Amino acid sequence: MGKEVTCLLVAAFLAVGLLVSIPAQALEVGLGGEDPVEINLYGYFASRYEKVWDEPGLEDGKTVEEDSPGEWDNPYVNLMGQSRIYDKYRVYFNLSAESAGDVEVRNIWGEYSHSEALNVRIGKMYRKFGIYNEILDAVPTYIGIEPPELFDNDHLILSRLTTVMAWGKRPFGDGTLNYSLSTDNGEGDKDDDTFPLQLDLHYKTGDDKYTIGFSGYHSMGETGSDVDVGDGSPESGVLPWMEEDEFWVAGGYCAANLGNWLFQAAYWHADHDATRDADSVATVINNAAPGLNQNQLDRFLIDPAGGITADNVDTNGDYEVNTWYVRAGYSFDTDYGEIVPYLQWDWYENEETIADKDYGGDNEAGAADDGEFTKGTVGVVYRPMPKLAVKLDASGHFYEFNGDDEWYPEVRLDISWIFGL
Amino acid sequence: MKKVSIFSAFSIVLLMAVLCSTATAQDNVDIIVNPNNPVSTLTRMEVVQIFKGGKVSWDDGSKIVPVVQEAEVKGFFDLMDMSKRKFDKHWITVALSGGATPPKRVSGDAGAASYVARTKNGIGYVSSGASVSEVKVVKITD
């Protein structure tokens, strides 16, 4: 009932805005150099290569190291378009096709702009959360290739998408206070009675040198996973073996643009009040590869030495997730283009996850004995022109595996070309 | 006599150096608005925010329509405190993230003045001293 009332209120607000604004703006048709309707199409092509060496695995209880074959995704394309209708309305879409395969509609939304202080957006959109959630598809434009762990597809802490968002900005001192409030359809909500809320509040100095902000999300009730056990990683932040899960995510972030330097940092915490589904957990334990480690079995089973049956599953699934990152880059503006070397350090812990991605885990924290890993990355972006970006970086993954401290290297290359802008 | 001459020469050089150092980016570029726009003064920060898409409305709530020149006008990018390359990259980031699309591009001072003259909420820039009687030049303060 809550969601239906909200949707009706928003639709009514937009309808009133439309009725009030169009007659006034229609009078301006033909005046000035600005067209009342403007349409822009643009996007980018990209190609990516990844290669991993010496990734630890288990064989007969012993640690073995394996090289993964290099993976070349060639090509993938993002097509974006937006249309401005008079001054007050905007429509945007973002289509993505990975490996020239199926087309995915990542974003499609309409927006009414009442003023700088109030804009309302409805559709399928990325929520304003931290520095990266809205810009992750703008791959050619930021330092780094992989997203911060908060938004890694293998272990999303919350869903990236939302359905209705009100946002705006107000002058505050020498800078601008930016705010947004959003809600969505409560992905995985089995009882259709949750009303998730998400808030972002951040301050930017007038010269855009400093940004500091806070983002938070609450499921506002018990929800479930958007995937079944065995169907891969969830996008909702709720693990597939949970019967129900009420959770919140909160954290802070900051960025500094000082001359040619760029610094970014963020910390996020998720708290899950969850109940495991006993049958689902038994399925996971019996089928997930390469099997659960002892810490994971100790969490999931009442008696770790007992049988793997639903009766022996500990249904109390409360757990926490923590992650933080720091990034730094320096821009060299040369006659041959822009060169940006960068460093990144990510840390992530999730005590509940497992290694098998098919069963909703991830092969980083889930592979670690204690659900924790760190990743250091060094890389460089070369932009011979603003529309072409070549990124090359290398990471070392560090974690405890089979009782020992292990690490393995990974190399990534990303080439992207922007069109239409 | 020689000492006076040397002193005079040094004073002239010093005076020229002082005068040159007080020349600002604003001396090389004029910010222009539609003649019907009531705005006569903008701070440098406001100009930066307008052309970066941070400030999107005039005080009366009408939408600001910025226009930039295709060729590089150095005084403008000095005012923005960023290179043309970084300016272009900024707008690419905004557009690829679902934000606004980059400002309209026109050719030369005449193109900028013509566009702003016929666009009620337009704002652009021309080389300082350019003949642009059809638009209003606003004063830029720090």
Domain-by-domain residue ranges, chain A? 53-69+106-419
Confidence of residue A328 (pLDDT cuts 50, 70, 90): very high
A31 CB neighbours in chain B (<8 A) are 120
Q: Are A281 and A360 in contact (CB under 8 A)?
A: no
For chain B, say whether A338 makes contact (Cβ under 8 Å): yes
pLDDT (tens digit per residue) in A15-38: 334 433 333 333 233 334 567 788
CA-based nearest residue to A105, from A122, A124, A121: A124
Torsion-angle region of residue A148: left (phi > 0), alpha (psi -120 to 50) or beta? Answer: beta
Structure-derived torsion over alpha carbons of residues A93, A98, A102, A105, reported in degrees to the nearest 10: -20
Contact between B33 and B67 (Cβ < 8 Å): no
Q: Which helix (H) or strand (E) holds A280?
A: helix A278-287
pLDDT of residue A1: 39
- Answer yes or no: do A34 and B57 touch at CB < 8 A: no
What are the tens digits of pLDDT across the range A124-180? 999 999 999 998 888 888 888 888 888 888 888 899 999 999 999 999 988 999 999
Give Cα A348 to chain centroid, integer Å.
14
Residue B104 confidence class, pLDDT cut points 50, 70, 90: very high
For A131, nearest residue in chain B (alpha carbons) = B97
Structure tokens at A343: 């460093």
Q: What are the domain boundaries of chain B?
A: 26-141
Minimum distance, in Å, between the CA of residue B139 and any CA atom of chain A: 19
Q: What percent of chain A has pLDDT over 70?
A: 89
Per-residue pLDDT reduced to its tens digit, A85-114: 888 899 999 999 876 668 899 999 999 999
Of A32, A115, A207, the CB nearest to B61: A115
Question: In the prediction, which pLDDT does A185 show?
Answer: 74
Mean pLDDT across B120-131: 92
Residue A206 and residue B49: Cβ atoms within 8 Å?
Answer: yes
What average pLDDT does chain A have? 87
Q: Which residues of B touch A94 (CB under 8 A)?
A: 98
Q: Does A335 touch chain B (CB under 8 A)?
A: no
pLDDT range class, residue A190, cuts 50, 70, 90: low
* Res B16 pLDDT > 90: no
- Chain A partners of B45 at a C-beta cutoff of 8 Å? 174, 206-207
Residue B38 contacts by C-beta under 8 Å, 6 or more apart in sequence? none
**Taking CB atoms and an 8 Å limit, are B119 and A32 in contact across chains?**
yes
Under 8 Å CB pairs connecting chains A and B tally to 100
- What is d(CA A416, CA A387) in angstroms, rounded to the nearest whole number? 8
Predicted confidence (pLDDT) at residue B19 exceeds the cutoff of 50? no
According to DSSP, the β-strands at B41-43 and A197-204 are: unpaired
Q: Whole-angstrom Cα distance, residue B75 to residue A301?
A: 69
Helix H or strand E segment including A183? strand A175-183
Residue A188: pLDDT band (50, 70, 90) is low
- Helix, strand or coil, per DSSP, at residue B18: helix
| Closest-approach residue (CA) in chain B for A93 | B98
At residue A82, does pLDDT exceed 70? yes
Lowest mean pLDDT, pick from A125-134, A376-385, B5-14: B5-14
Q: By CA distance, what is B44's nearest residue in A?
A: A207
Query: Which pLDDT does position A26 carry in this prediction?
Result: 32
Neighbours of A94 (CB within 10 A): 24
Structure tokens at A216: 């938070």
pLDDT at A403 over 90: yes
Provide the 3-class DSSP secondary structure of residue B16.
helix
* Complex ipTM: 0.81
pLDDT at res. A205: 93
A291-312: pLDDT as tens digits: 889 899 999 999 988 888 899 9
Is B61's Cβ below 8 Å from some Cβ in A?
Answer: yes
- Type of residue numbered A205: T
Would you call A28 an interface residue with chain B, using a CB distance cutoff of 8 Å?
Answer: yes
State the pLDDT at residue A53.
93
Locate B68 and state its tokens: 């930039």
Which among B45, B61, B102 is the nearest to A206, CB-wise? B45
* The pLDDT of residue A74: 72
- Asked if the C-beta of A115 comes within 8 angstroms of chain B's C-beta atoms, the answer is yes
pLDDT on residue A264:
97
Over range A181-185, report the average pLDDT.
89
Residue B3 has pLDDT above 90, yes or no: no
Instruction: Locate the DSSP E strands across A277-336.
Output: 319-330, 332-334
Tell me the shortest Cα–Cα distance from B43 to chain A, in angstroms.
Answer: 11
Contacts of B107 in chain A (CB under 8 A): none
CA dist., res. A315 & res. A366, Å (int): 19
Å between B14 CA and nearest CA of chain A: 30
Q: The whole model's pTM is what? A: 0.86
Asked if residue A11 has pLDDT above 50, the reply is no
Asked if A338 lies within 8 A of B48 by C-beta distance, the reply is: no
The predicted structure's pLDDT at residue A336: 93
Q: Does domain B26-141 have CATH number 3.40.190.10?
A: yes
Q: Which of A177-191, A229-243, A397-411 has the lowest mean pLDDT?
A: A177-191
The CA distance from B62 to the nearest CA of chain A, in Å, is 8
The fraction of chain B above a pLDDT of 70, given in percent, is 81
> What was the pLDDT predicted at A32?
41
Q: Is the pLDDT of residue B24 over 80?
A: no
Closest CA of chain A from B86, distance in Å: 8
Say yes or no: A384 contacts chain B, CB-CB below 8 A.
no
pLDDT of residue A2: 43
| A276 in B contact zone (CB under 8 Å) | no
pLDDT at residue A3, as a whole number: 45
Q: Do the chains contact at A134 and B56, CB–CB below 8 Å? A: no
Q: Which backbone phi and psi does B21 adopt, to 5 degrees?
A: -70, -20
Predicted confidence at residue B6, as pLDDT, reads 58
Give residue A392's pLDDT: 96
**DSSP of A132-177:** TTTTTT-GGGSS-SSPPGGG-TTS-SS-SEEEEEEEEEEEETTEEE
Instruction: Please check whether residue A47 is in contact with residue A76, taking contact to mean a CB–CB distance below 8 angstroms.
Output: yes
Contact partners, residue B58, CB within 8 Å, separation at least 6: B37, B39, B64, B121
Specify the pLDDT at position A149: 87
CB B2 within 8 A of CB B99: no
> Which of A68-72, A89-93, A98-102, B111-115 has the weakest average pLDDT?
A98-102
Beta carbons within 8 Å of A27's beta carbon, 6+ residues apart: none
Which of the four pLDDT bands, split at 50, 70 and 90, describes residue A5?
A: very low
- Reply yes or no: is the peptide bond before residue A290 cis, omega within 30 of 0: yes
Look at residue A187 in the predicted model and tell me its pLDDT: 60
Out of A183-197, B24-38, B80-94, least confident range: A183-197
* Statement: residue A211 has pLDDT above 90: yes
Q: Do A383 and B89 touch (CB under 8 A)?
A: yes
| Domain boundaries A53-69+106-419, corresponding CATH code | 2.40.160
pLDDT attached to residue A144: 86
Question: Which residues from chain A sit within 8 angstroms of residue B63, using beta carbons?
Answer: 87
pLDDT in tens, A272-295: 999 999 999 999 999 988 888 989
CA distance A321 to chain B (A): 27
Instruction: Please tell me the distance in Å from B90's CA to the nearest CA on chain A.
Output: 8
Provide Rg for chain B, Cα atoms. Answer: 19
**Cβ–Cβ of B54/A176 closer than 8 Å?**
yes
